[in-house]
């Protein structure tokens, strides 16, 4: 009997030749399909793509016949480090209570703040490490991780130092973001904004524990003016800017992202056509999170047609977090982008790779398969790219390769 054995392997061959791929999705000119071709990897980088004739002998070969080769997935928005879980809120939502109602009744982010504060650095590190392994099994090679469940100087720094340690111990590229997520209980809005701008941001910069600063700008979180003050301060400290914008209401978040030329604005369910145009003009990467919309059963979806009309590609990401989306599999997120948001398959794949890289300012290094780029590659067990979302829910990832190292493979 043929048995299927999945193994986590960490091989470091000098060179790998991926041969006979039925499709290579280069993401160089749109999705950039090259059929029946090969990819040569040397010293952790992509050396050649297409009709490759390697001269070296000490070469490991992966026969990708009947498979699709794609850049490793770039998940540019997650809340992967947290303590506890909120399945009771999930149960309340399926019985009709909304995310906002639960938050107002003392649940939501505040619950995870309690359980994250209660967890030690070691516990958070071990939870994070376990979750990162799962990501690798689903083809993610680069991940952004936000803080935001600490809400005090000590606790936010605790989260960011855990992320820093994960970065040190994981083969993945990890990008840390300081997220200004919510106003802590028993604190006045004004005092918390002062604390963020006068103490937390300077400390984050001093410790070099985040690349970006993100703010949750919406009716249940920070106002436009507060967001403006916090992000402007973050910029003066050299942090890149991101926003959780217009998820629950049209709160002017995307417009502010355009004014500040943020690297990305994320969610965007309620963003108007004009704000979309403004964002695209100022180079903000619109980042859509279909997993959260689906998981929260929200009816309002981003204006996909507007992006298509102005020819602006979008990034898609998981938003993996214990409240609004427990999905960390990027193939599932790609399927949801198509099914829930009506995105074209090509655009969803583009969004999960090169656009994710742009949302992290990493497009010079990752997100596409072209000579000179880092060899971050996922090999999928489907013979054409449309089957990635079509085979919804199936485990389609056969190999995950990071910087030329096979992190995950399947032996048959
Ligand atoms: O991106 N919208 C705000 N923050 C998260 C949810 C966080 C939580 O519920 O714990 C999001 O959906
Ligand atoms: Fe989020």
The domain that contains 301 carries what CATH number?
3.20.20.140
Does 262 reside within a domain?
Answer: yes
Coil vs helix vs strand at 132: helix
Q: Where residue 56 falls among pLDDT bands split at 50, 70, 90?
A: low
Say whether pLDDT at 379 is over 50.
yes
| Residue tagged 């990897």 (tokens) | 41
**Residue 370 burial by Cβ neighbours in a 10 Å radius (0-12, 13-18, 19+):** middle
In the chain, what percentage of residues exceed pLDDT 90?
A: 92
Q: What is the pLDDT of residue 2?
A: 36
Does 363 reside within a domain?
Answer: no
Same domain, 10 and 141: no
**Ligand 1 center to 283 CA (angstroms):** 24
Same domain, 329 and 185: yes
Task: Say how far apart CA 314 and CA 359 lie, in whole Å.
Answer: 9
Choosing from 316, 335, 358, the residue where a domain stops is 358
Q: Where residue 14 falls among pLDDT bands split at 50, 70, 90?
A: confident
- Give the tens place of pLDDT for each residue, 301-314: 999 999 999 999 99
Give the number of the atom of ligand 1 that is nearest the alpha carbon of residue 247. Answer: 2
- Give the tens place of pLDDT for each residue, 287-302: 999 999 999 999 999 9
Where in the sequence is the domain holding 325, given as residue range(s)? 74-358
Give the number of the atom of ligand 1 that is nearest the alpha carbon of residue 149. Answer: 10
Q: What is the pLDDT of residue 54?
A: 74
Q: Rounded mean pLDDT of 136-159?
A: 98
Q: What is the pLDDT of residue 135?
A: 98
Same domain, 186 and 260: yes
Q: How far apart are the first and last CA of the chain?
A: 11
Choosing from 334, 358, 382, the residue where a domain stops is 358
Give the number of the atom of ligand 1 that is nearest the alpha carbon of residue 325. Answer: 12
- Give the tens place of pLDDT for each residue, 94-108: 999 999 999 999 999
Does 229 reside within a domain?
Answer: yes
Same domain, 273 and 396: no
Say whether pLDDT at 8 is over 70.
no
Q: What is the pLDDT of residue 4?
A: 41
Q: Lowest-confidence range among 138-147, 272-281, 401-410?
A: 401-410
DSSP line for 210-275: -SEEEEEESTTSB-HHHHHHHHHHHHHTT-EEEEEESSSS--SHHHHHHHTT-SEEEE-TT--HHH
Q: Where residue 58 falls among pLDDT bands split at 50, 70, 90?
A: confident
Same domain, 142 and 173: yes
Q: Rounded mean pLDDT of 45-61?
A: 86
Does 191 reside within a domain?
Answer: yes
Q: What are phi and psi of 287, to 5 degrees?
A: -120, 115
Same domain, 220 and 344: yes
Q: Which residue has the higher pLDDT, 13 or 32?
A: 32
Q: Where residue 158 falls among pLDDT bands split at 50, 70, 90?
A: very high
Same domain, 80 and 193: yes
* 214's tokens: 């993100």
Does 336 reside within a domain?
Answer: yes
Q: Lowest-confidence range among 47-61, 152-166, 285-299?
A: 47-61
Q: Lowest-confidence range among 18-27, 45-54, 268-277?
A: 45-54
Q: Ligand 1 — pocket residues by CB below 6 A? A: 79, 108-109, 112, 216, 244, 247, 292, 319, 321-324
* Residue 211 and residue 244 in contact, taking contact as beta carbons nearer than 8 Å: no
Same domain, 271 and 380: no
C-alpha separations of 20 from 52, 147, 374, 410 in Å: 10, 42, 21, 17
**Ligand 1 center to 360 CA (angstroms):** 19
Which of 323, 326, 327 for a ligand 1 pocket mutation test, highest count of atoms within 8 Å of Cβ?
323
Say whether pLDDT at 55 is over 90.
no
Same domain, 259 and 317: yes
Q: Rounded mean pLDDT of 5-31?
A: 82
Q: What is the pLDDT of residue 10?
A: 56
**Ligand 2 center to 286 CA (angstroms):** 13
Q: How many domains does the chain have?
A: 2
Does 123 reside within a domain?
Answer: yes
The helix (H) or strand (E) run that includes residue 309 is helix 304-309
Q: What is the pLDDT of residue 3?
A: 38
- Give the tens place of pLDDT for each residue, 66-87: 999 999 999 999 999 999 999 9
**Ligand 1 center to 152 CA (angstroms):** 18
- Give the tens place of pLDDT for each residue, 173-204: 999 999 999 999 989 999 999 999 999 999 99
Coil vs helix vs strand at 326: coil
- CATH, residue 61: 2.30.40.10
Does 11 reside within a domain?
Answer: yes
Does 147 reside within a domain?
Answer: yes
pTM of structure: 0.96
């Amino acid at each position: 009997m043929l048995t299927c054995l999945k193994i986590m392997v960490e091989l470091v061959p000098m060179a790998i030749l991926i041969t006979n791929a039925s499709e290579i999705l280069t993401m160089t000119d749109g999705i950039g399909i090259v059929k029946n071709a090969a990819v040569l990897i040397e010293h952790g980088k992509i050396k050649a793509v297409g009709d490759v004739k390697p001269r070296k002998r000490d070469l490991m070969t992966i026969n990708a016949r009947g498979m699709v080769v794609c850049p490793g997935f770039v998940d540019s928005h997650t809340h992967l480090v947290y303590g506890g879980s909120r399945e009771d809120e999930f149960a309340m939502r399926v019985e009709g209570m909304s995310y906002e109602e639960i938050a107002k009744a003392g649940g939501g982010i505040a619950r995870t703040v309690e359980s994250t504060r209660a967890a030690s650095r070691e516990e958070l590190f071990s939870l994070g490490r376990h979750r990162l392994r799962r990501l690798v099994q689903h083809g993610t090679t680069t991940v952004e991780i936000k803080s935001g469940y600490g809400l005090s100087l000590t606790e936010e720094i605790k989260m960011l130092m855990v992320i820093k340690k994960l970065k040190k111990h994981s083969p993945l590229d990890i990008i840390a973001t300081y997220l200004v997520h919510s106003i802590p209980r028993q604190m006045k809005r004004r005092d918390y904004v002062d604390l963020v701008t006068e103490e937390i941001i300077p400390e984050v910069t001093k410790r070099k524990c985040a690349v970006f600063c993100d703010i949750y700008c919406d009716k249940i979180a920070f106002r436009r003016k507060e967001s403006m003050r916090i992000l402007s301060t973050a910029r003066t400290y050299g942090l890149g800017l991101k926003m959780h914008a217009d998820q629950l209401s049209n709160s002017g978040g995307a417009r502010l992202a355009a004014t500040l030329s943020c690297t990305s604005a994320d969610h965007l369910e309620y963003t108007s056509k004009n704000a979309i145009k403004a964002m695209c003009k100022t180079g903000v990467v619109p980042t859509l999170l279909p997993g959260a919309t689906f998981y929260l059963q929200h009816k309002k979806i981003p204006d996909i047609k507007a992006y298509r009309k102005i020819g602006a590609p979008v990034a898609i990401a998981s938003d993996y977090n214990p409240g609004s989306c427990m999905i960390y599999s990027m193939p599932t997120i790609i399927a949801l982008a198509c099914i829930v948001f009506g995105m074209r398959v090509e655009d969803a794949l583009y969004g999960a790779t090169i656009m994710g890289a742009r949302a992290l300012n990493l497009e010079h290094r990752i997100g596409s398969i072209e000579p000179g780029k880092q060899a971050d590659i996922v090999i999928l067990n489907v013979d054409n790219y449309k089957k990635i979302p079509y085979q919804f829910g199936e485990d389609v990832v056969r190999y995950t390769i990071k910087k030329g190292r096979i992190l995950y493979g399947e032996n048959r």
